[in-house]
Amino acid sequence: MNELTGAQKGRVAIRTFKTIADSLILRGNYKPSGRTGQTLERALREISPEIYGSMNDPRSVELSGLEYVLDRLPKGIENCNRIILTAQEDLDHTTFEKIEPLKRRRISYKMNQHEICFVITRGVSEVYDLLTHLTFLNIESEKIYNRSHEEGNELSSVWKKLCEAVELDTEPAEKELDHLLWSTSILLGTTYQETRKIYENIEKNKREFNSNNGFFKLIAGLGKRVKQSKQYDEDALTIIFTPTFTDMVGHHVVSRNWANQVKQKLYDLNYHKRPIHIISANMHSVKNTLYAYAAQGNKLKSKSETSNLYQFISETKDSTDQITKIANQNGFTEIKDETGANINYQIIDSHALSKVTFHPSLNLDFNPENKDNPVILVMDYAFGAQAFELMDELLKPELNQEKLFPQNIVSISIVGKAGILPGEKGDIILATAHVIEGTANNYIVNNNLGKDDFDGSIDVYEGPIVTVLGTSLQNKDVLEKFQTTSWKAVGLEMEGGHYQRAISAAMIKNHISKDIKIRYAYYASDNPLKSGQTLASGSMGKEGIKPTYMITKLVLEKIISE
């Protein structure tokens, strides 16, 4: 019998993880230390996500992966042995502490020191994301516990030293800190420099954002939680899915409320009969491209500071209030989401843009006499499969399931970030198709953007893009297979295939025209196949400005030219 290839094993592991995760939602609860939890762990180990580094090495704790995960989980998670996943709950007016992680838009509530409740409003992708992070966290916690003991099951001296420092709860002097970091690096099986770097990153986030309890408390808390669970079975980590959450999965409840809120706003502003262009993007690039020059252009000292759009944008990063003020006076409306979808949105009346002074490099020409100047609807990034629910509900020609609400949607543009396979961070990726990993769903895209639309100053890659199950469910062998075989995939992300599924369905149902302009363009935020360019290596910072704004500029010029 032929042995499975690495790509085949990875594909089976991804499918196994998804199948088990889906079954757990229906079952209602599980323990990571139980049989099902161990199967989930084995699947994650087989996937071996690049972002989780040395997860499969029992000799050392994966610190970069730990930092990545802790930035996306609520403060105090290291002490919790009971984690609840529920649907939308009205907990805002209770005494429970509301917590939002530093780098993930998800809401949770601290019920007590050992119990936390996640309010899941973004669909199954959020569940997969949470379960991968919690499974990884449990793997690393077990390592810490195992390494805290010496032969004969005696507690190690380095573990005792760490616990003593945590009990003191004082800021150590530099010399004491060096000794503590050195002994902690021995405990974790990592180098001193690696330990110091992660310590500084975590402590910086603690000081600036109060997003964690500090490096030493995190490590000690994870080890102690495992120790407690081994002593008392009732204290074993347990993850619970409430019946209300199970009942809401797949029913678009939150997304429908969000879409109704958007349509109601368009109706109230009397924009619903105008040509509408939808852009899925961040909440600053369209606003800055259209309004930043009018707000700041005359305040910069020299022409050299304003002539280059991308340099100009980087110079105005601290001028958000002034830009927003000008925008609000010239057709711009921003609405903060109140439905739980965590998707804010902006509405721009291009009729009012005829009075705005644009950056010289922007080729935008408005006719103030044209009453049919388009309306631009900018919606924040969706998360995974949530993209299908949001777009599916938004494109329905109805309001609150009863009022007929015909919409003249002319174009849909997805301006996002993605992992790249053949190129480098900072390159641009254009989709010619979306391949949803683990399913038979593949969608050809007639992309209104092409390589020739760009000026050649940044490398542009065109080809199929893989819609992956989760950021932390990427297998290197599977991705290499997608790139090197006849798929010739150029990138990966989590939303494109789900958006296109909704768009294709809307065309079939005649909710939108088959002649609608579709655009998918991404800047490469990482390369999961290249060491040092994965998501765990950190965000791009200023390097991401040029590709993001180059795409935004081009999309806006195409919208206005139509």
The model's pLDDT over 537-552, given as tens digits with 9 standing for 90+, comes to 666 677 889 999 999 9
Helices (H), 344-430: 386-394
User: What integer pLDDT is reported at residue 282 of this predicted model?
Assistant: 95
User: What integer pLDDT is reported at residue 538 of this predicted model?
Assistant: 66
Rounded average pLDDT over 312-333: 90
**Which amino acid appears at position 436 of this protein?**
I
pLDDT above 70 coverage of the chain, percent: 97
DSSP state of 523: E
Provide the pairing of β-strand 238-241 with 115-119.
unpaired
User: How many other C-beta atoms are found inside a 10 Å radius of the C-beta of residue 155?
Assistant: 12
Phi-psi region of 180 (alpha: psi -120 to 50; beta: other; left: phi over 0): alpha
What values do phi and psi take at 241, rounded to 5? -105, 120
pTM of the model: 0.93
pLDDT digits (tens, 9 = 90+) for 260-293: 999 999 999 999 889 999 999 999 999 999 999 9
Q: Has residue 247 got a pLDDT over 80?
A: no
Rounded average pLDDT over 82-97: 88
Q: Has residue 301 got a pLDDT over 80?
A: no
Residue pair 211/205 in contact (Cβ under 8 Å)? The answer is yes
| Assigned CATH topology for domain 252-561 | Rossmann fold (3.40.50)
Residues counted in the chain: 562
Residue pair 274/370 in contact (Cβ under 8 Å)? The answer is no
Q: What is the mean pLDDT of the chain?
A: 92
Q: Has residue 306 got a pLDDT over 90?
A: no
User: What integer pLDDT is reported at residue 298 of this predicted model?
Assistant: 65
Range of weakest confidence among 152-166, 196-210, 485-499 = 152-166
Q: Which among 351, 339, 349, 389 is positioned nearest to 498, based on CA atoms?
A: 389
pLDDT digits (tens, 9 = 90+) for 170-227: 888 999 999 999 999 999 999 999 999 999 999 999 999 999 999 999 999 999 999 9
User: What integer pLDDT is reported at residue 528 of this predicted model?
Assistant: 87
Q: What b/e readout covers 335-363, taking b as 16+ CB neighbours within 10 angstroms?
A: eebebbbbbebbbbbbbbbbebebbeebe
Rounded average pLDDT over 464-492: 94
Q: What is the CA radius of gyration of the chain?
A: 25
Q: Compute the C-alpha angle 76/81/85, nearest 5°.
A: 85
Cα 181 to Cα 184: distance, rounded to the nearest angstrom: 5
pLDDT band at 162 (very low <50, low <70, confident <90, very high): very high
pLDDT band at 303 (very low <50, low <70, confident <90, very high): low
pLDDT above 90 coverage of the chain, percent: 76
Q: Has residue 402 got a pLDDT over 80?
A: no
User: What integer pLDDT is reported at residue 536 of this predicted model?
Assistant: 66
Cα 252 to Cα 339: distance, rounded to the nearest angstrom: 12
User: What integer pLDDT is reported at residue 84 of this predicted model?
Assistant: 96
Identity of the highest mean pLDDT range in 186-190, 297-301, 352-356: 186-190
User: What integer pLDDT is reported at residue 11 of this predicted model?
Assistant: 93
For the chain, the domains span: 6-247, 252-561
CA distances from 488 to 90, 127, 156, 463, 482 (A): 47, 30, 51, 7, 6
pLDDT digits (tens, 9 = 90+) for 415-435: 999 999 999 999 999 999 999
User: What integer pLDDT is reported at residue 470 of this predicted model?
Assistant: 92
List, edge to edge, every strand of the sheet that includes 97-99.
29-30, 238-241, 82-86, 115-119, 107-112, 97-99
Q: Compute the C-alpha angle 23/27/28, nearest 5°.
A: 120
User: What integer pLDDT is reported at residue 248 of this predicted model?
Assistant: 77
CA distances from 410 to 131, 373, 375, 516, 539 (A): 39, 12, 10, 5, 33
Residue with the larger pLDDT of the pair 499 and 152: 499
pLDDT band at 4 (very low <50, low <70, confident <90, very high): confident
Q: Has residue 366 got a pLDDT over 80?
A: no
